[in-house]
Amino acid sequence: MLTISNLQASIGSKEILKGINLEVKAGEIHAIMGPNGSGKSTLASVLAGREDYDVTDGSVLFEGKDLLDLAPEERAAEGIFLAFQYPVEIPGVSTTNFLKTAMNEIRKYRGLEPLDAVQFLKLMKEKMKLVNIDQSLLSRSLNEGFSGGEKKRNEVFQMAMLEPKLAILDETDSGLDIDALRIVAEGVNQLRSPERATIVVTHYQRLLDYIVPDYVHVLYKGRIVKSGPKELAFELEEKGYDWIKAEVETV
Protein backbone atom coordinates (compact mmCIF):
# COMPACT_ATOMS: atom_id res chain seq x y z
CA MET A 1 0.00 0.00 0.00
CA LEU A 2 2.70 2.47 1.06
CA THR A 3 6.29 2.23 -0.09
CA ILE A 4 8.75 4.79 1.23
CA SER A 5 12.20 4.60 -0.35
CA ASN A 6 15.25 6.56 0.75
CA LEU A 7 13.07 9.51 1.77
CA GLN A 8 15.08 12.59 2.65
CA ALA A 9 13.57 15.85 3.80
CA SER A 10 14.86 19.08 5.20
CA ILE A 11 13.61 22.37 6.43
CA GLY A 12 15.72 25.32 5.40
CA SER A 13 19.25 23.97 5.55
CA LYS A 14 18.42 21.51 8.32
CA GLU A 15 18.26 17.87 7.22
CA ILE A 16 15.68 16.01 9.23
CA LEU A 17 14.84 12.82 7.38
CA LYS A 18 18.00 11.17 6.11
CA GLY A 19 16.84 8.20 4.10
CA ILE A 20 13.71 6.49 5.36
CA ASN A 21 12.72 3.11 3.99
CA LEU A 22 9.40 1.63 5.00
CA GLU A 23 6.91 -0.74 3.45
CA VAL A 24 3.36 -0.86 4.81
CA LYS A 25 0.99 -3.46 3.39
CA ALA A 26 -2.78 -3.32 3.53
CA GLY A 27 -4.10 -4.84 6.74
CA GLU A 28 -0.96 -4.02 8.76
CA ILE A 29 -0.34 -1.87 11.77
CA HIS A 30 3.10 -0.30 12.15
CA ALA A 31 4.30 1.43 15.28
CA ILE A 32 7.01 4.06 15.05
CA MET A 33 8.88 4.91 18.21
CA GLY A 34 12.01 6.91 18.86
CA PRO A 35 13.51 9.66 20.99
CA ASN A 36 12.25 13.24 20.91
CA GLY A 37 13.33 15.18 17.88
CA SER A 38 14.22 12.12 15.84
CA GLY A 39 11.87 13.03 12.97
CA LYS A 40 8.67 11.08 13.61
CA SER A 41 6.32 14.04 13.20
CA THR A 42 8.32 15.22 10.25
CA LEU A 43 7.78 11.91 8.53
CA ALA A 44 4.06 12.08 9.28
CA SER A 45 3.85 15.66 7.95
CA VAL A 46 5.76 14.86 4.79
CA LEU A 47 3.38 11.99 4.12
CA ALA A 48 0.40 14.29 4.63
CA GLY A 49 1.92 16.92 2.33
CA ARG A 50 3.02 19.80 4.53
CA GLU A 51 4.74 22.25 2.22
CA ASP A 52 7.25 23.61 4.76
CA TYR A 53 9.47 20.60 4.18
CA ASP A 54 11.59 20.11 1.10
CA VAL A 55 11.82 16.55 -0.05
CA THR A 56 15.38 16.39 -1.29
CA ASP A 57 15.51 12.75 -2.32
CA GLY A 58 13.61 9.48 -2.38
CA SER A 59 10.08 8.51 -3.27
CA VAL A 60 6.78 7.60 -1.71
CA LEU A 61 4.29 5.40 -3.51
CA PHE A 62 0.75 5.05 -2.22
CA GLU A 63 -1.24 2.37 -3.99
CA GLY A 64 1.08 2.76 -6.94
CA LYS A 65 0.67 6.56 -7.14
CA ASP A 66 3.49 8.98 -6.57
CA LEU A 67 2.29 10.56 -3.34
CA LEU A 68 4.79 13.40 -3.39
CA ASP A 69 3.17 14.69 -6.56
CA LEU A 70 -0.18 15.22 -4.87
CA ALA A 71 -1.51 18.22 -2.94
CA PRO A 72 -2.48 17.57 0.69
CA GLU A 73 -6.19 17.56 -0.20
CA GLU A 74 -5.58 15.01 -2.97
CA ARG A 75 -3.73 12.77 -0.56
CA ALA A 76 -6.68 12.98 1.80
CA ALA A 77 -9.02 12.11 -1.02
CA GLU A 78 -6.80 9.16 -1.93
CA GLY A 79 -7.33 7.92 1.61
CA ILE A 80 -4.56 9.26 3.80
CA PHE A 81 -5.39 10.69 7.20
CA LEU A 82 -3.05 12.30 9.71
CA ALA A 83 -4.11 12.66 13.33
CA PHE A 84 -1.93 15.58 14.39
CA GLN A 85 0.34 15.56 17.42
CA TYR A 86 -0.64 19.18 18.03
CA PRO A 87 -4.03 19.85 16.41
CA VAL A 88 -4.35 23.53 15.47
CA GLU A 89 -7.09 25.76 16.85
CA ILE A 90 -9.26 27.33 14.19
CA PRO A 91 -11.55 30.07 15.51
CA GLY A 92 -14.88 30.40 13.75
CA VAL A 93 -14.80 26.99 12.07
CA SER A 94 -16.66 24.17 13.77
CA THR A 95 -15.79 20.49 13.36
CA THR A 96 -19.28 19.74 12.10
CA ASN A 97 -19.10 22.47 9.51
CA PHE A 98 -15.71 21.79 8.03
CA LEU A 99 -16.02 18.03 8.23
CA LYS A 100 -19.13 18.10 6.07
CA THR A 101 -17.23 20.14 3.47
CA ALA A 102 -14.26 17.78 3.74
CA MET A 103 -16.37 14.63 3.32
CA ASN A 104 -18.17 15.98 0.32
CA GLU A 105 -14.98 17.21 -1.32
CA ILE A 106 -13.50 13.74 -0.89
CA ARG A 107 -16.66 12.19 -2.29
CA LYS A 108 -16.53 14.55 -5.25
CA TYR A 109 -12.91 13.50 -5.91
CA ARG A 110 -14.03 9.90 -5.88
CA GLY A 111 -16.97 10.57 -8.17
CA LEU A 112 -19.60 10.04 -5.48
CA GLU A 113 -22.74 12.06 -4.79
CA PRO A 114 -22.49 14.46 -1.83
CA LEU A 115 -24.09 13.41 1.44
CA ASP A 116 -27.16 15.41 2.33
CA ALA A 117 -27.61 16.94 5.76
CA VAL A 118 -29.64 13.98 7.04
CA GLN A 119 -27.15 11.35 5.92
CA PHE A 120 -24.30 13.36 7.35
CA LEU A 121 -25.99 13.77 10.72
CA LYS A 122 -26.79 10.10 10.90
CA LEU A 123 -23.17 9.18 10.25
CA MET A 124 -22.04 11.75 12.79
CA LYS A 125 -24.30 10.34 15.50
CA GLU A 126 -22.94 6.88 14.88
CA LYS A 127 -19.29 7.91 15.05
CA MET A 128 -19.86 10.21 18.00
CA LYS A 129 -21.05 7.22 19.95
CA LEU A 130 -18.04 5.23 18.85
CA VAL A 131 -15.50 7.73 20.18
CA ASN A 132 -17.73 8.97 22.96
CA ILE A 133 -17.52 12.62 22.00
CA ASP A 134 -20.09 15.27 22.77
CA GLN A 135 -22.14 17.15 20.18
CA SER A 136 -21.43 20.42 21.95
CA LEU A 137 -17.70 19.96 21.38
CA LEU A 138 -18.25 19.45 17.67
CA SER A 139 -20.28 22.61 17.23
CA ARG A 140 -17.67 24.75 18.96
CA SER A 141 -14.82 26.43 17.11
CA LEU A 142 -12.39 23.70 16.13
CA ASN A 143 -10.07 22.85 19.02
CA GLU A 144 -10.42 26.34 20.45
CA GLY A 145 -10.17 25.99 24.21
CA PHE A 146 -10.36 22.19 23.95
CA SER A 147 -8.44 20.26 26.59
CA GLY A 148 -5.50 18.21 25.35
CA GLY A 149 -7.55 15.03 25.54
CA GLU A 150 -10.52 16.60 23.77
CA LYS A 151 -8.33 17.63 20.88
CA LYS A 152 -7.03 14.10 20.49
CA ARG A 153 -10.48 12.65 20.72
CA ASN A 154 -11.64 15.05 18.04
CA GLU A 155 -8.85 13.79 15.78
CA VAL A 156 -10.01 10.22 16.27
CA PHE A 157 -13.60 11.26 15.63
CA GLN A 158 -12.58 12.81 12.31
CA MET A 159 -10.67 9.67 11.43
CA ALA A 160 -13.73 7.57 12.18
CA MET A 161 -15.83 9.83 9.96
CA LEU A 162 -13.44 9.85 7.02
CA GLU A 163 -12.57 6.13 7.19
CA PRO A 164 -9.12 6.50 5.64
CA LYS A 165 -7.22 3.69 3.95
CA LEU A 166 -4.04 4.74 5.69
CA ALA A 167 -4.29 6.42 9.06
CA ILE A 168 -1.22 8.02 10.62
CA LEU A 169 -1.62 8.72 14.33
CA ASP A 170 1.03 11.02 15.70
CA GLU A 171 1.14 10.58 19.46
CA THR A 172 -2.61 10.46 19.65
CA ASP A 173 -2.21 8.68 22.98
CA SER A 174 -0.26 11.37 24.78
CA GLY A 175 -2.33 13.41 27.16
CA LEU A 176 -5.13 10.88 27.23
CA ASP A 177 -6.56 9.30 30.37
CA ILE A 178 -6.91 5.53 30.49
CA ASP A 179 -10.55 5.55 29.37
CA ALA A 180 -9.82 7.86 26.47
CA LEU A 181 -6.88 5.71 25.51
CA ARG A 182 -9.14 2.69 25.24
CA ILE A 183 -11.60 4.69 23.14
CA VAL A 184 -8.88 5.82 20.77
CA ALA A 185 -7.69 2.26 20.42
CA GLU A 186 -11.23 1.11 19.73
CA GLY A 187 -11.52 3.75 17.04
CA VAL A 188 -8.40 2.41 15.37
CA ASN A 189 -9.38 -1.23 15.78
CA GLN A 190 -12.81 -0.54 14.28
CA LEU A 191 -11.07 0.56 11.12
CA ARG A 192 -8.87 -2.48 11.12
CA SER A 193 -9.53 -4.41 7.95
CA PRO A 194 -7.60 -6.23 5.23
CA GLU A 195 -7.89 -3.13 3.01
CA ARG A 196 -6.65 -0.58 5.54
CA ALA A 197 -3.42 0.14 7.31
CA THR A 198 -2.33 2.25 10.27
CA ILE A 199 0.90 3.88 11.35
CA VAL A 200 0.97 4.77 15.05
CA VAL A 201 3.64 7.07 16.36
CA THR A 202 3.95 6.66 20.11
CA HIS A 203 6.30 6.89 23.03
CA TYR A 204 4.42 4.40 25.15
CA GLN A 205 4.17 0.67 24.98
CA ARG A 206 0.87 1.07 26.86
CA LEU A 207 -1.03 2.03 23.68
CA LEU A 208 0.30 -1.06 21.93
CA ASP A 209 -1.52 -3.23 24.46
CA TYR A 210 -4.70 -1.99 22.85
CA ILE A 211 -3.53 -1.51 19.29
CA VAL A 212 -1.37 -4.51 18.66
CA PRO A 213 1.17 -3.72 15.94
CA ASP A 214 2.55 -6.06 13.36
CA TYR A 215 5.86 -4.21 13.32
CA VAL A 216 7.69 -1.78 15.55
CA HIS A 217 10.27 0.62 14.09
CA VAL A 218 12.71 2.86 15.85
CA LEU A 219 13.38 6.20 14.22
CA TYR A 220 16.57 7.90 15.31
CA LYS A 221 18.29 10.91 13.80
CA GLY A 222 16.19 10.75 10.69
CA ARG A 223 16.62 7.05 9.94
CA ILE A 224 14.83 3.86 10.85
CA VAL A 225 17.59 2.18 12.79
CA LYS A 226 15.78 -0.87 14.04
CA SER A 227 12.63 -2.80 13.17
CA GLY A 228 11.11 -5.79 14.83
CA PRO A 229 7.96 -7.53 16.04
CA LYS A 230 5.75 -6.11 18.78
CA GLU A 231 8.11 -7.43 21.44
CA LEU A 232 10.59 -4.71 20.45
CA ALA A 233 8.25 -2.22 22.10
CA PHE A 234 8.57 -4.06 25.44
CA GLU A 235 12.30 -4.06 25.14
CA LEU A 236 12.32 -0.29 24.51
CA GLU A 237 9.99 0.31 27.42
CA GLU A 238 12.33 -1.61 29.66
CA LYS A 239 15.72 -0.50 28.41
CA GLY A 240 15.15 2.94 26.88
CA TYR A 241 16.95 4.07 23.76
CA ASP A 242 20.57 4.15 24.91
CA TRP A 243 21.41 0.68 23.72
CA ILE A 244 20.00 1.47 20.29
CA LYS A 245 21.89 4.73 20.14
CA ALA A 246 25.04 2.84 21.09
CA GLU A 247 24.39 0.26 18.39
CA VAL A 248 23.97 3.04 15.83
CA GLU A 249 27.11 4.88 16.88
CA THR A 250 29.30 1.73 16.66
CA VAL A 251 28.15 0.97 13.11
Partner 1 sequence: MNNQPNNDLKSKLLADFRTSEERMNGASKSALHQIRREALNQFDRLGFPTVKHEEWKYTNVNSLIKEVFEFNASSELTVEDLAQLESSRLDGNVLYFVNGQYQPHLSKIVSPASQLTITTLAEAVKTTPDLLHQYFAKYADFQDNAFTALNTAFAQDGVVINVPANTTVEASTILRFVSDARHLNVASQPRNLFIVNTNAEIKIAESFRTLGDQASFTNVVTEIVVAEDARVEYYKIQNESDMAYHIGTTQVHQKDRSHFYSATVTLDGGFIRNNLNIALDGSECEAHMYGLYFPNGRQHIDNHTLVDHRKPNSHSNELYKGILEDRSTGVFNGKIFVREDAQKTNAYQSCKNVVLSNDATMNTKPQLEIFADDVKCSHGTTTGKLNEEALFYLRSRGIPKVEAQSLLMYAFAEDVIKKIKIDTLREQLERRIQAKLAR
Give the binding site for Mg ion (CB under 5 A): 40-41, 85
Binding mask 78-117 for ligand ATP (x = CB under 6 A): -------x--------------------------------
Strands (DSSP E) contained in the chain are 2-11, 14-24, 29-33, 54-62, 65-66, 80-83, 90-94, 141-142, 166-170, 197-201, 215-220, 223-228
Q: Which does 246 bind (CB under 5 to 8 A by kind): partner 1, Mg ion, ligand ATP, none?
A: none
SS3 helix, strand, coil % of the chain, rounded to 5? 45, 30, 30
Site membership for ligand ATP, residue 52 (CB under 6 A): yes
Does position 106 interact with partner 1 (CB under 8 A)? The reply is yes
Q: Are 159 and 190 in contact (CB under 8 A)?
A: no
- Distance, in Å, from the CA atom of 69 to the CA atom of 188, rounded to the nearest integer, reads 28
Which does residue 165 bind out of partner 1, Mg ion, ligand ATP, none, counting CB within 5 to 8 angstroms by kind?
Answer: none
Q: Which of Mg ion, ligand ATP, partner 1, none lies near 194, with the C-beta cut-off 5 to 8 A by kind? A: none
Strands (DSSP E) contained in 135-196 are 141-142, 166-170
Q: What is the distance between the alpha carbons of residues 53 and 47, in angstroms, rounded to a whole number?
A: 11
Stretch binding ligand ATP (CB under 6 A), from 38-46, 75-83, 132-140, 229-237: 38-46
With CB under 5 to 8 Å by kind, the binding choice for 13 among ligand ATP, Mg ion, partner 1, none is none
CB of 244 to Mg ion, least distance (A): 18
